[in-house]
Amino acid sequence: MPSSPQLSASDKALFWDRAARKYAASPICDLPGYEKTLARVQGLLAPHLHVLELGCGTGSTALRLASGTASYLATDVSAEMIAIAQAKQLALPPAPLRFAQADAETLPAKEPGYDIVLAFNLLHLMHDLDKTLQSLLRLLKPGGLLISKTACLNEMNPLIPRLALPLMRMLGKAPLVQCFDAQQLCQRMEQQGFAIEALERHGSKRRDWRAFIVARRPL
């Protein structure tokens, strides 16, 4: 898979800062599919578990899930996204939830501390996917889960990843992306030490190119 020029954390943050208000105002494109994903994740959470969410955007998912956990840290590279999420949080009942700005590709090395790491609509945006997966494996406790839902662009119309996306990137309208299918993503996870427990599709439309994957760090 060809490598793309790497953006700094500040460059990525600037792109998503500019997109934040429009992103926050946009409706969820497949609400039934989103609700199915939330229900599936809620079934994997428990009040004693510590959760990290990467790429939380404006916090909609974190605000729905955090009450079912012991602690929930939701992060995003964009300070503007985090500010919107924190404003939403103020209007809701207290929950064991904290928002913080952080780049998923430059997470600090630390002892394993999380039972679950969530990565929704994120992994295809990583410049170095393998390195990111290695970091996530280290962040998880033995037996912990990586739960992701990822756009698999190689399952879309070939004109989109080959023509439309490069043009949009050239115009500054799209971020850098990785192109793979669901099986290739599972293989990359397995190569970094994860055991795949589930590969599902939650979309309500006939063709769903977003892969929901549950992967476990072995004991």
* Each residue's pLDDT tens digit, 58-111: 999 999 999 999 999 999 999 999 999 999 999 999 999 999 999 998 887 666
98, β-bridge pairs: 73
Position 195, amino acid: A
Contacts of 166 (CB under 8 A, 6+ apart): none
Output the pTM of the full model: 0.88
Note the pLDDT of residue 111. 66
* Each residue's pLDDT tens digit, 171-182: 565 567 788 999
Helix (H) or strand (E) holding 73: strand 71-76
Rg (CA), the chain: 17
Q: Could you give the CA distance from residue 38 to residue 183 in angstroms, rounded to a whole number?
A: 23
User: What is the CATH architecture of 9-216?
Assistant: 3-Layer(aba) Sandwich (3.40)
Are 208 and 149 in contact by the 8 Å Cβ rule? The answer is no
Pair of tokens at residue 183: 């099986």
Are 154 and 180 in contact by the 8 Å Cβ rule? The answer is yes
* Each residue's pLDDT tens digit, 5-54: 456 667 777 777 887 888 888 889 899 999 999 999 999 999 999 999 99
